A and B are shown apart, each in its own frame.
Chain A
Amino acid sequence: MKKILTGNKTAAVAAGLALKKGGVIPMYPITPQTEIVEEIAKMKADGELPNTVVKNMDSEFSVMSMAMGAAAVGARVFTATSSQGFLLMHELLYIASGQRHPIVMVNVSRGLSAPITLWSDHNDFLGAMQTGWIMMHAQDNQEVLDMTLMAFKIAEDPRVLLPVLVNMDGYILSFTDEIVDVPDQEIVNKFLGERKSEHTITPDRPTVVGTPVLPEYSYFRTQHHIAARNAMQVIKEVQDEFYGLFGRRYNLLADEFMTSDAEIILVTQGAMSTTAREVVMEMRDDGAKVGLLRLSLIRPWPEEEIRNVLCRAKAVGVVDKNIAPGKGGIMYDEIRGALYPVKDPRPIVSSIIAGLGGNPQTKKKIRAMFEKLAKTTETGEAIVEFNDVEAI
């Protein structure tokens, strides 16, 4: 049924659908995610989640601790956080993935302090790429719902058994109303079923979860990596099954738009991608051969699929709504690395830092990005552009 929902409300609705039969939601508020917590609390108070434990914790660290404890005894777990809260639970992110708990968390991207801000930026969740979580990035509220539902299926698959993060841009998606098609509870039940596991603690199967090890560490960490790589195959299967049941098709490994004959391809992620797609359509009407690659899966890194999309372009611009001070955009080197095996002629890969701290990226600004990239095909030199400030 189509409803008008903000990104936050969508995340709460998705959690309610997935955990209707039972589950645990430990939570803590933080702008711009507080509406998720409020909505879940309202759903619980209205009696819509009779079988779900909903608990206000005393900090995000406690939230992730409780999430791990609940997952260890076999419960389906959902939670949500943002920037500073996400960082507060940073130690536990590694533990949650190392202990192989299929927790699903929605992160509402917000720029990191200092300087303190509330608007959207991708530094928070991209700083946690090494934690061993599976990471997906939504571009609109419908995707927030669909990715959260798919996340449970991917996380609980016995070939994966890893926690999943679904990211959405703060304010741009989280507080903006969009039309969202909310599926019926019966179809969600059919898609997700109940969580079954063989490695959790039950009264007749006492288990030590997360044992101390010495030389065995490298074995377990390697298995962790293999499971994360397995997730790519599982994601393909889950998105096909999702299409069959819900009618919406996703290509999470390489969401490309008009790239097959594109000379200039822009690489974006998050809400900016929907604006960029409109710019691509307008520029195509004017005859420019442009295309868009939207990164929807950050971990595991679909290097081969990305390489296949980008290899024939003349110029590629990686838009980073994040920055690693002292180095540059975080995704810039990931894309350059993905293109390294391509034999000459290789695309000229440039970096564009845009939207730090939520600076709005208008159609005009994105069109300017394409124009700057077009110039690189003439000069043959890659550029590093700061789209919102004048670089010194």
Chain B
Amino acid sequence: MNEKDLLEKGYKGIKGIPIIQDPGNSERNSATGLWRIKRPVFNGTQCSKCKLCFMFCPDSAISWSEEGLTFNMNTCKGCMICAEECPQKAISEVDER
């Protein structure tokens, strides 16, 4: 572990002091979506636009727009609460591996 490795990861700032001064650093280095082993798949035709999935997601990984749902795969950890809560069973599960 040396300074070159840390600079590659984006730890800019004063040498040897544990600070981060470049915003957005966590997007590159803390993508918790890497922990996923199952992934949700959205079936647009079944969706009744109740937005329950959007409200229940513990990671706020679901966004709502006119076109339907989008899942932010950077932070979705594959807990499948959205699939569990959907009254229309419009979200299905797929193995990530």
Interface footprint category on B? 10 to 19
Which of chain B's residues 7-23 have a Cβ closer than 8 Å to chain A?
11, 13-21, 23
Pair count A-B, CB < 8 A: 54
Least CB distance from B11 to A in Å reads 7
User: Is the beta-carbon distance between B16 and A199 smaller than 8 angstroms?
Assistant: no
Contact B17 A100 (CB under 8 A): yes
A119 CB to nearest B CB, Å: 39
A198 within 8 A of B: yes
Give the interface residue-count category, chain A. Answer: 20 to 34
Indicate whether A161 sits within 8 Å of B20 (C-beta atoms), given known contacts A215-B1, A216-B6, A219-B1. no
> Which residue of chain A is the closest to B2 with respect to CB atoms?
A219
Q: Would you call A199 and B14 a contact (CB within 8 A)?
A: yes
A211 interface contact, C-beta 8 A: yes
Of A10-18, A201-209, A279-287, the one with at least 4 CB within 8 A of chain B: A201-209
Name the CB-closest residue of B to A209.
Answer: B19
Find out whether the CB atom of B23 lies under 8 angstroms from the CB atom of A224. Answer: no
- Cβ distance A202 to chain B, nearest Cβ, rounded Å: 10
Decide yes or no whether A362 CB sits under 8 A from chain B. Answer: no
Which of chain B's residues has its CB closest to A161's CB? Answer: B17
Counting CB contacts under 8 A, is A227 at the interface? Answer: yes
Contact (Cβ within 8 A) A219 B19 = no
Complex Cα spacing A207 to B31, Å: 20
Residues of A close to B25: CB separation below 8 A = 208
Known A216-B1, A216-B6, A218-B1: A227·B23 in contact at CB below 8 Å: no
Measured in the bound complex, the distance between the Cα atoms of B17 and A226 in whole Å is 11
